Amino acid sequence: MENIVRTKAEAWINGNYDEQTKNEVRRMMESEDQTELIESFYKDLEFGTGGLRGVMGVGSNRMNIYTVGAATQGLSNYLNREFKGRSISVVVGHDCRNNSRLFAETVANIFSANGIKVYLFENLRPTPEISFAIRHLNCQSGVIITASHNPKIYNGYKAYWEDGAQIIAPHDVNIISEVNKIKSPDDVKFTPNKDLIEIIGENVDAEYLAKVKTVLLSPESIKRHQDIKIVYTPIHGTGITLVPRCLKELGFTNVTVVEEQAVISGDFPTVVSPNPEEPAALDLAIKKAKEIDADIVLASDPDADRMGMAIKDDKGEWTLVTGNQTAMMFTYYILRRRRELGILSSNDFMVKTIVTTEMIKKICDDFKTDLVDCYTGFKWIAGEVREREGKQHYIGGGEESYGYMPADFVRDKDSVSCCALMSELTAWALDNGMSVYQFLLSLYQKYGFSFEKGISIVREGKSGAEEIVGMMKNYRSNPPVELAESKVVWIKDYQLLTELNVLTRSKYQIPLLTTSNVLQYITEDGTKVSVRPSGTEPKIKFYVEVQLPMNDPSQYKECIEVATEKVNRVKKDLRIG
């Protein structure tokens, strides 16, 4: 391995790389500790089905203009082959991270050098707007430079197809093949054709926000409660460009932005992790909410596709809302309001991922609305929308990791639309004599209590990747017999597309066209555990869902305690910390 690493590093010193890059490689090679060199060169940063994501720095396993360049040249080659004889155009955007503008301009330059028209956003923009712009501008592809909510040392490259969704088969593997053919900077056309690069901004912003307004279902409630106190934080990211403006245009007059986190910065100076799934990321927003006695706290992650939130409980204490709870509330609200407005159709359908709460299925069943299960990630949700286009009407879908897509004009999770819809839901709940907290508890009383817990185990580097492979292999060959003293009755293996009834030993085919490295265990008492390696981070992820009866809202906190204890027993049975 050491010889391979040094050979690759020497190729960077002798190749057509800039002098600063070469000096950095020399420094790593001369260092007594070779860990940094090995981590930077032991493999090539892989262009996977979601694009690129990695630590920024010099080397073949790092995010830099050369790895970004290879990805873009490969994508350009594929576009020129796939759309031969046609005029090709793409959208390019970026988030707030360090080097994001540099990488975005590098991407735009390479596309243009390959004869491809580029619509480059003037500065940072939310990820969902890039998805929208692809279809709005009739483009064939698009790229946003973002690492979502990863730590500040990361950046990434997210590629989309002409429907505004992330790339899936067969294009994903074909593009990967083209990217893998790029062996050096000499294979990349870095010199731009400036005539093919058009800067865009406000013209697309206005069209996108006009579409966001179409997700609303209770405009009269907004008028009656336009002064509800909303605290919003963009956590130093792209949401600041559109979310406050959007809420103002909808008629909300009392929106407070967390000023410390309105500062655009890839260093994320006020948080350890810029992830609205992490409670600490909302600390400043909740502090502000307490100061002004707000009604709701909303947050978006750095590229503004995920939305986090906090609400007041029955004692006026602030409590965080999970992604599953948000998806559950959106699902019920959309279905109920559409039925009340007379626009809920037998042709409507919703989507959730297989690791998302089963409460959504209960709600959809209650409203006699089709619910489709798919793999984790919005490319699969968007894929279900694409498959049913012209046959069924999409009205909402999401996943547990704080992502929701209320309409199909965006084909990715969309915090701008979600902030708008949740603000409206807050006003609607008040119209119905409830706080958002009381509304949430009413759903548990109606459908039963469900508690979901996500657990991630981080394993960095080459040894970590190997350990994760070993863990998945062990869970597959030695599945648990019981979880929290309840027998495992179903085992679903999405890599083999089989599900096993443990009691009868009967095997069935899972009706999906593609495979995924996911295992799922379901117990007699309805506990569901899903296990999968992350596709974008050095993690193995566990998703635990337990269900309990809840006959009265007063039982809510007791249910949480009982469920938390049960999750801890599940963790012990799975041998995870």
Task: Please name the amino acid found at residue 565.
Answer: E
What b/e sequence results for 28-58 when a residue is b if at least 16 CB atoms lie within 10 Å of its CB, and e otherwise? bbeeeeeebbbbbbbbbbbbebbbbbbbbbb
Tell me which of 112, 148, 415, 423 is the catalytic residue: 148
Give the residue extent of every domain in the chain: 43-200, 208-447, 449-574
Q: Residue 106: name the closest of 16, 192, 4 by CA.
A: 192
Same fold, 43-200 and 449-574: no
Topology classification of domain 43-200: Alpha-D-Glucose-1,6-Bisphosphate; Chain A, domain 3 (3.40.120)
Concerning whether 148 is annotated as a catalytic residue, the answer is yes
- d(CA 404, CA 373) in angstroms, rounded, equals 14
Distance set, CA 272 to CA 161, 257, 279, 282, 290 (Å): 33, 20, 11, 11, 22
The phi, psi pair for 472, rounded to 5°, reads -65, -40
Under a CB-based contact definition with an 8 Å cutoff, are residues 420 and 247 in contact?
A: yes
pLDDT of residue 301: 97
pLDDT of residue 1: 62
pLDDT of residue 462: 81
Specify the CATH class of 449-574 in words: alpha beta
- d(CA 265, CA 65) in angstroms, rounded, equals 20
pLDDT of residue 198: 98
pLDDT of residue 463: 87
Name the helix (H) or strand (E) containing 530. strand 528-533
Reduced to 3 states, what is the DSSP secondary structure of residue 320?
A: strand
Specify the CATH class of 208-447 in words: alpha beta
CA 409 to centroid of chain Cα atoms: 17
Which residues are within 8 A (CB) of 440 and not within 5 positions of it... i.e. 6 or more apart? Answer: 311, 321, 325, 328, 329
Alpha helices in 433-492 (DSSP H): 436-447, 461-477
Residue-by-residue pLDDT tens, the chain, 577 positions: 678 999 999 999 999 999 999 999 999 999 999 999 999 999 999 888 778 999 999 999 999 999 999 999 999 999 999 999 999 999 999 999 999 999 999 999 999 999 999 999 999 999 999 999 999 999 999 999 999 999 999 999 999 999 999 998 899 999 999 999 999 999 999 999 999 999 999 999 999 999 999 999 999 999 999 999 999 999 999 999 999 999 999 999 999 999 999 999 999 999 999 999 999 999 999 999 999 999 999 999 999 999 999 999 999 999 999 999 999 999 999 999 999 999 999 999 999 999 999 999 999 999 999 999 999 999 999 999 999 999 999 999 999 999 999 999 999 999 999 999 999 999 999 999 999 999 999 999 999 999 999 999 999 888 899 999 999 999 999 999 999 999 999 999 999 999 999 999 999 999 887 899 999 999 999 999 999 998 777 899 999 999 999 999 999 999 999 999 999 999 999 998 6
- d(CA 73, CA 63) in angstroms, rounded, equals 15
pLDDT of residue 261: 98
- d(CA 479, CA 435) in angstroms, rounded, equals 43
Reported pTM: 0.95
pLDDT of residue 56: 98
pLDDT of residue 130: 98
